[in-house]
Amino acid sequence: MSQTELPELDPVIHAQARLRVVSSLSMLREGDRIAFPRLQEILKMTAGNLSVHLRKLEDAGYVEVTKTHQGRTPATLVQLTRRGRLAFEDYTAALRSLLNPSEEP
């Protein structure tokens, strides 16, 4: 395989922390949301670090962050967008292609 045939990995997703975020969110059913503190707990990230990575993913259109209230308590909910889900599928396909070039369709 020549260098020009290698697939590109999405740089927005490829950063380790963002890959962990997108991978975790991809486990939710399409349209489902997770509370920010729960995602923070799952990923064992600080609130600030997670916020920075969510902002980059949100700017790319890969995640949607919704600020709302549950009763009087503020709540931040996060979900993977359709675009983010497709980008993650493309990313994993490109990664598989890099790891197993002989198994290309």
- pLDDT tens string 35-64: 999 999 999 999 999 999 999 999 999 999
The three-point CA angle 90-91-95 to 5° equals 115
Q: How wide is the angle at C-alpha 15 spanned by C-alphas 36 and 22, nearest 5°?
A: 40
| DSSP state for residue 71 in the 8-state scheme | T
Instruction: Tally DSSP H helices, then E strands, for the chain.
Output: 5, 3
Between CA 44 and CA 36 the distance in angstroms is 12
| CATH for the 3-98 domain, from 1.10.10.10, 3.30.360.10, 3.40.190.290, 1.50.10.20 | 1.10.10.10
pLDDT at position 1 over 50: no
Least confident of 4-18, 46-60, 62-76: 4-18
- pLDDT band, very low/low/confident/very high, at 5 (cuts 50, 70, 90): confident
- Asked whether residue 81 carries a pLDDT value surpassing 80, the answer given is yes
Model confidence, pTM: 0.87
